[in-house]
Amino acid sequence: MESGEFAGTVEKIIFSVEQSGFVVFSLKCVSGIVTVNGSYPQLQAGQQVTVTGTWQIHPKFGKQFQAQVITPQLPSTALGIVKFLSSGLIKGIGPTYAKRLVDCFKEDTLRIIEEEPALLSTVPGIGEKRVDQIIQGWHEHRHISRIMIFLQQHGVSPAYGAKIYKTYGAQTIALIQQNPYRIANDIWGIGFKIADQIAQKLGIEPTSPARINAGIRYALTNALGQGHLYLTVEDAKKETSTLLECEQSSIQEQLTHALHNLYNTNIIKLISYQNTHYIGMAQNYYCEKGFAERIKYLQSRPCTLALDNSSIYTKLRTGGYGNLELHEQQQHGIMQCLTARVTIVTGGPGTGKTTLIKTLLNILDQQNLSYKLAAPTGKAAKRMSQSTGKYALTIHRLLEFDGSSREFTKNETNALKADFIIVDEASMIDIFLAHSLIKAVSDQSHIVFIGDVDQLPSVGAGSVLTDMIESGTIACVRLSHIFRQAQNSLIIVNAHKINTGEFPVTFLPDARKDFMLIKQEDPERLEEHLRMIFKEILPAHSISADSCAVLVPMNRGTVGTQTLNPLLQSMLNPDSSIAISHNGTLFKLYDRVMQIKNNYDKMVFNGDSGTIVNIDLENKTLDVEYQEQTVSYQTHELDELVLAYAMTIHKSQGSEYDVIVCPVFMQHFMLLQRSLLYTAITRAKKLCIFIGQTKALAMGIKNNRTHKRVTLLNPFLQSNLSCRS
């Protein structure tokens, strides 16, 4: 769109959101009236501003000017000053007193308020109390203006500037001048680059301790986003020097000094394991260490259940619980759950995990033992409820998360009251949630983790389920027997084939035709295949498009989520009469969306998906219906949402769909691996369709080299770890 710059007077505030500073206003300038939208806290009619940005077309309101920079200017004419002061921006001054002030002081009015406020009392009707109000209001206005100008002069956009101001308030300039790097940690969406840009303009030296400390901490934070809890000391130095754009050799001494400083102030931990030195944020270390110590403590406690295990085992072998014929692996798994304080049950699709849980719950009911069922996400909890017929809830709700304190009510001093805690989809649990959960398990309880260890690891950091299994210190049952009814599904057969490195098949005698492979060498032709799937294949299978998800390895590229989501939106939800545009994304009524940030105030979390059920165009808000609640979003919060017609395979964990469509092309080669494809196919219930190049699919199946996360839970559980703590 065409860019430009306009200077003029704010004629009217059309719409504003106080929490974010977002504002739509009409600007009177030389060329006429321009409708402008942007971010600037407490903008008022009568203010003179200069706006810089680009033109855009709003789907309902037409042509508007989107301001990237809004710079306030004080009016210089008597008429402009009257309008400015009449706006209500300055407490104590309305239209009447604005006219009186300007009649008295003319074009010198604003200087008088700023420099000689005592003269205000000479104006008829303005007493001492009103003078104090005017002085306070003026200083507040000037303070906000100075803050926004300060931030914009240092390269911060108005939208980010409004976020920063809302976080720090009147202390904004002082806090940023003291440590500009803090905003990278305190404010979501603002990374190291923006903070460093401000720091450079403030004159902070490239090799200053503050910059290097911030670089190390950001390198660790960045690693956390990739699932790692630690970096080797050498990798941390390398990552930091790359981030700071400095040769490592030139800042080697400063890096070493910074590491010692961060260690001595307990910001990071230095850990030695197998002749390698690691560093990690102290909170990460305490979570992993605390989780391992609590697991070991629970295992050391004797089992207090008064059960006749011999009788139970006999009954299991003879189908005495619900007339279910159990495989010996399932029988062994149930007995492990009853005798071990901590148990892991893992296995792929069709191996009987659900039957094991249902039988275990049947036994617990007969023995009058209490239990609680939980899963990491709302969808996973609902599926657990449907499959067992028992009430299940998310781990956050199980632990009674308090949004006001941002802490769990259930903890080591207020433990969960149940004989058994049974957690499904354990592969999705990151170390932070795992630590909170294990702290809330009472000394008398048993805990059972159920999940498929061959799936991708959790979206959050850590590798909890894999590390627990690999440690060899926890009772673990791996279900591998595929039941006869499961063998009739090509989805399940091919899931196990992929997991063992074999290419999937599209036909087996007597098997349901629930798996398709559409060969296509040209990724540009993916669109025509998607249209054919939604228009022909799904109706032929009597499946609604609403229960179909497109899963891809990555966000970028011609077959990434960023390209596919607008395309699928146009196919599946073409009506754009009710929509809100935000940062290039058009959110429409009934769109599928996904939350991409943990929001503890709203109790929605990274990976939660829902549907837009209401859009208020006047107030610029929308409501999203999730599994357990409906959540309202204001304009400034929409950067927490993305369209979810297509999503990464990683983000699909814990969800199931009637139909999965999975494009696989060589442009994904950096991410193609066996666990990725295995996770994708196991999300499908009725139909799975792979589209793409057989070479790419074969490469992914062959590639069993997993992206090993840097964690230390395994050695913590084995107790053979040396740590300087």
Same domain, 247 and 328: no
Determine the structural domain holding residue 116 and report its residue range. Answer: 3-124
Distance CA 585, CA 582 (A): 5
User: Largest Cα–Cα distance in the chain?
Assistant: 101
- Asked if residues 12 and 45 have their Cβ atoms less than 8 Å apart, the reply is yes
Distance CA 352, CA 427 (A): 17
pLDDT-derived band of residue 480, with 50, 70 and 90 as boundaries? Answer: very high
Q: What is the pLDDT of residues 386-416, one digit of tens each?
A: 999 999 999 999 999 887 778 899 999 999 9
**Would you say residue 470 has pLDDT above 80?**
yes
The letter for the amino acid at 357 is I
Q: Which residues pair with 37 in a beta bridge?
A: 24, 66
Same domain, 406 and 323: yes
Which range has the top average pLDDT, 10-19, 116-125, 427-436?
427-436
pLDDT-derived band of residue 514, with 50, 70 and 90 as boundaries? Answer: very high
The token duo for 160 is 């980010």
Determine the pLDDT at residue 159.
Answer: 65
**Of 471, 432, 464, residue with least CA distance to 449:** 464
Q: What is the pLDDT of residues 592-649, one digit of tens each?
A: 999 988 888 888 888 889 999 999 876 778 999 998 789 999 877 888 999 999 999 9
Same domain, 444 and 507: no
Pairing of strands 641-643, 592-595: antiparallel
pLDDT-derived band of residue 88, with 50, 70 and 90 as boundaries? Answer: low
Q: Which residues pair with 392 in a beta bridge?
A: 373
CATH number at residue 660: 3.40.50.300
Q: Is residue 138 part of a domain?
A: no
**Of the listed ranges 45-54, 387-396, 504-513, the one predicted with least confidence:** 45-54
CATH number at residue 70: 2.40.50.140
Determine the pLDDT at residue 89.
Answer: 63
- Among residues 483, 514, 541, the one where a domain terminates is 483
- Asked if residues 708 and 230 have their Cβ atoms less than 8 Å apart, the reply is no
Same domain, 641 and 534: yes
Same domain, 272 and 311: no
Same domain, 661 and 552: yes
The token duo for 504 is 């999937």
**Of 602, 281, 675, residue with least CA distance to 462:** 281
pLDDT-derived band of residue 271, with 50, 70 and 90 as boundaries? Answer: very high
Distances (CA, A) of 656 to 376, 377, 490, 549, 659: 14, 12, 16, 9, 9
**Of the listed ranges 31-45, 325-339, 454-468, the one predicted with least confidence:** 31-45
Mean per-residue pLDDT, 373-383? 91
**Would you say residue 65 has pLDDT above 80?**
yes
Q: What is the pLDDT of residues 413-442, one digit of tens each?
A: 999 999 999 999 999 999 999 999 999 999
Distance CA 69, CA 662 (A): 41
Same domain, 269 and 302: no
Which residues are within 8 A (CB) of 181 and not within 5 positions of it... i.e. 6 or more apart? 192, 195, 196, 199, 210, 211, 213, 214, 217, 218
Q: Is residue 571 part of a domain?
A: yes
Segment holding 663, helix H or strand E: strand 657-664
Same domain, 454 and 433: yes
Query: What letter would DSSP give residue 616?
Result: E
Distance CA 667, CA 689 (A): 19
**Of 346, 376, 561, 547, residue with least CA distance to 455:** 346
pLDDT-derived band of residue 183, with 50, 70 and 90 as boundaries? Answer: confident
Pairing of strands 62-73, 32-39: parallel
Same domain, 460 and 335: yes
Q: Is residue 653 part of a domain?
A: yes
Q: What is the pLDDT of residues 212-251, one digit of tens each?
A: 988 999 999 999 989 999 999 999 999 999 989 888 888 8
Q: What is the pLDDT of residues 526-575, one digit of tens each?
A: 999 999 999 999 999 999 999 999 999 998 888 999 999 999 999 999 98
**Of the listed ranges 115-124, 153-162, 171-180, the one predicted with least confidence:** 153-162
Main-chain dihedrals φ then ψ at residue 9, nearest 5 degrees? -115, 135
Distance CA 455, CA 390 (A): 25
Same domain, 179 and 104: no
**Of the listed ranges 178-192, 344-358, 448-462, the one predicted with least confidence:** 178-192
Q: Is residue 695 part of a domain?
A: yes
Q: How far is CA 90 from the centre of its chain?
A: 40
Q: Is residue 201 part of a domain?
A: yes
Determine the pLDDT at residue 567.
Answer: 94
**Would you say residue 333 has pLDDT above 70?**
yes
Mean per-residue pLDDT, 355-376? 95
Determine the pLDDT at residue 581.
Answer: 82
**Would you say residue 20 has pLDDT above 80?**
no
- Asked if residues 60 and 149 have their Cβ atoms less than 8 Å apart, the reply is no
- Among residues 281, 305, 340, the one where a domain terminates is 281
Determine the pLDDT at residue 385.
Answer: 95
Same domain, 102 and 184: no
The token duo for 82 is 């009257």
Number of structural domains (the chain) is: 4
**Of the listed ranges 38-47, 298-307, 407-416, the one predicted with least confidence:** 38-47
Distance CA 620, CA 159 (A): 16
Residue with tokens 């790359």: 242
3 state SS of 169: helix
Q: How far is CA 363 from the centre of its chain?
A: 38
CATH number at residue 265: 1.10.10.2220
Q: Other C-beta atoms within 10 Å of 412: how many?
A: 13
Give percent of the chain above pLDDT 90.
Answer: 51
pLDDT-derived band of residue 725, with 50, 70 and 90 as boundaries? Answer: very low
**Of 142, 26, 172, residue with least CA distance to 74:** 142
**Would you say residue 17 has pLDDT above 80?**
no
Segment holding 383, helix H or strand E: helix 378-388
Q: Other C-beta atoms within 10 Å of 289: how many?
A: 19
Same domain, 230 and 375: no
- Asked if residues 411 and 382 have their Cβ atoms less than 8 Å apart, the reply is no
The residue ranking higher by pLDDT, 1 or 673, is: 673
**Mean pLDDT for all residues in the chain:** 88
Q: Which residues pair with 268 in a beta bridge?
A: 281
Distance CA 708, CA 717 (A): 18
DSSP 279-309: EEEHHHHHHHHHHHHHHHHHHHSPP-----H
C-alpha R_g of the chain:
30
Buried b (16+ CB within 10 A) or exposed e, 537-574: bbeeeebebeebbbbbbbbebebbbbbbbebbbebbbe
Which residues are within 8 A (CB) of 366 and not within 5 positions of it... i.e. 6 or more apart? none
Determine the pLDDT at residue 549.
Answer: 95
Distance CA 270, CA 262 (A): 10
Buried b (16+ CB within 10 A) or exposed e, 136-149: ebbeebbebbebbe
**Would you say residue 74 has pLDDT above 80?**
no
Q: Is residue 684 part of a domain?
A: yes
Q: Is residue 132 part of a domain?
A: no
pLDDT-derived band of residue 30, with 50, 70 and 90 as boundaries? Answer: confident
Q: Other C-beta atoms within 10 Å of 325: how many?
A: 9
Determine the pLDDT at residue 723.
Answer: 58
Q: Other C-beta atoms within 10 Å of 181: how many?
A: 21
Which residues are within 8 A (CB) of 62 and not within 5 positions of it... i.e. 6 or more apart? none
Main-chain dihedrals φ then ψ at residue 707, nearest 5 degrees? -75, 90
Distance CA 230, CA 269 (A): 9
**Of the listed ranges 44-53, 95-104, 429-438, the one predicted with least confidence:** 44-53
Determine the pLDDT at residue 126.
Answer: 86
Q: Is residue 709 part of a domain?
A: no
Residue with tokens 């230095």: 270
3 CB burial (10 A radius; 0-12, 13-18, 19+):
exposed
**Would you say residue 257 has pLDDT above 60?**
yes
**Would you say residue 154 has pLDDT above 90?**
no
Which range has the top average pLDDT, 204-208, 320-324, 514-518?
514-518
